[in-house]
Structure 1
Amino acid sequence: MKIFYLHGLGSSGQASTATGLAQAGFEVIAPDYQPELFNLSLATQWPLVERCQPSAIVGTSMGAYYALKLAERFEIPVVAVNACYEPGRLLAKYLNEPAMNFQTQAPIPFTAQMLAQFQPLNPSRILKPKILIGDADEVIPADYQQTFCRAKGWQWQSVDWGHRVGDCALLAQIIHAHVATYG
């Protein structure tokens, strides 16, 4: 099964989740992109999804936000793990102290103009998202994620993880089950 995987802020297409999903038997398309650059990120991801025709779109953290944005455009099953649902608001903390790129060890600069470009999610255009929320998420608290999902009418599944995917084999099972029941 082919999946389109989107990494989080400061990570890359070679992230441990992408490699773990490949080891679980998926054909993983995991582009490198700059999640802090909204317009550029969507402009590069749309044609990739159209070209590769994945069975599912999977994202973690900022990548989960983009996975949900792509699901607004494409009727493809989506799995969002510890999503950054409101990047413009949640990333504002980096205006004063930049986040770090884990690959290059360089700071990721943010501006108010960058944050203003992020568009809100449109739940009415996202069909049956599979939302996973880590009970011990230290970056985007589980209670915030649950409140957001409740307000949008989305079901979620709690997992015994922190912010990072704690079990790629379990994530693989969840992806398979979601694709099988989608539609």
Structure 2
Amino acid sequence: MPTTHLLYLHGFRSSPQSAKARVMAARVAERHPALHWWCPHLPPSPREAAQLIAEGTADWPAEGMAVVGSSLGGFYATWLAARTGCRAVVINPAVDPARDLAAYIGEQTAWHDPEAHFFFRPEYIDELLALQTGPLPHPERLMAVIAKGDEVLDWREMTARYPGSQLRVVEGGDHALSDFETAHLDAVMAFLQPA
């Protein structure tokens, strides 16, 4: 079944203004105007983020919905795919954010708006642990785009997290996957819109 509803989940300190979110929104508007697009601004609390995602997609058809997530958004996308069985694309996904984000407890600035601040609380680590999922029930419905040159996350750990999924491992690259529009967008959209 074609994708009718598409969710984009941004990463830690990011926002719907991220380059990848804007590129995908433009592609959807240009070539898939009937596709329902949603890119929410995720709160810093993982529990609240999961609640927002769950409530916002509650009436979406599981067989027609898909999710794309980058970094921490990839962790949330994996959680949603495990819950619903929907198609998912994760881009340099956070595999163990409870471990990795423990170093970021305290005041943070938003990447796209340095004037915007938020506080990453210690209890958010437990909230991340509560969202961890085991092996995906339908790994073939997930594609992972992973850059070996990611300066934030280990590409080997990301690759090992998704056995049975379609892996697109990129030589070089960076955590933001700066060449997303020119090198990866078409493949991502093709995976999300199977013929």
Output the TM-score relative to the length of structure 2.
0.78
- Which structure 2 residues correspond to residues 66-105 of structure 1 after superposition, within 5 A? 66-95=76-105, 98-105=107-114
Residues in 1 aligned to 2:99 and 2:110: alpha-carbon distance in whole angstroms: 20
Question: What letter is aligned with 2:85?
Answer: E
Task: Find the counterpart in structure 1 of residue 168 from structure 2.
Answer: 157
| From 23, 38, 41, the counterpart of 2:49 | 41
Q: State the Cα RMSD in Å.
A: 2.5
> Mind listing any 5+ residue stretches in structure 2 that lack a counterpart?
none
Residue matched to 1:59: 69
Looking at structure 2, the residues matched to 117 and 124 of structure 1 have their Cα atoms a distance apart, in angstroms, of 20
Contact 1:14 1:30 in 2 (8 A): no
CA distance in 1, matches of 2:65, 2:187: 13
Q: Tell me, what secondary structure is at the counterpart of 1:130?
A: strand
Map of 1:125 onto structure 2: 137
- Conserved? CA contact 2:18–2:112, under 8 Å: no
Contact 1:21 1:169 in 2 (8 A): no
- Structure 1: how far apart are the matches of 2:123 and 2:50? 17
Distance 2:109 2:132 in 1: 24
User: In 1, Cα distance between the equivalents of 2:45 and 2:180?
Assistant: 29
Whichever residue aligns with residue 39 of structure 2, its letter is A
What do the CA deviations read for 1:37-85 (whole angstroms, capped 9, x no partner)?
1110111111222345564200100111111111112221100001111
Give secondary structure in 2 for the equivalent of 1:17.
helix
- CA–CA separation in structure 2 for the residues paired with 1:171 and 1:99: 30
Q: Within 5 A, what are the aligned runs for 1:136-155?
A: 136-149=149-162, 154-155=165-166
Give the partner amino acid of 1:146: T
Deviation, 1:155, is 4.9
Q: Which position in structure 1 is the counterpart of 2:22? A: 19
Change (3 A) 1:155 1:52: closer
**Are the aligned partners of 1:5 and 1:58 in contact in 2 as well (CA < 8 Å)?**
yes
Q: Deviations over 1:104-161 (max 9, x none)?
A: 4244433332111112222243542211111211111223323444xx5555221242
Shift of the 5–86 alpha-carbon distance from structure 1 to 2, 3 Å rule, reads same
SS at match of 2:49: helix
Match in the other structure for 1:50: 58
What residue in structure 2 maps to residue 32 of structure 1?
A: 41
TM-score, normalising length: structure 1: 0.82
Residues 139 and 164, structure 2, Cα contact 8 Å, conserved in 1: no
AA of the residue aligned to 1:29? W
Give aligned pairs, total. 178
Q: Structure 1 vs Structure 2: percent identity of aligned residues?
A: 22
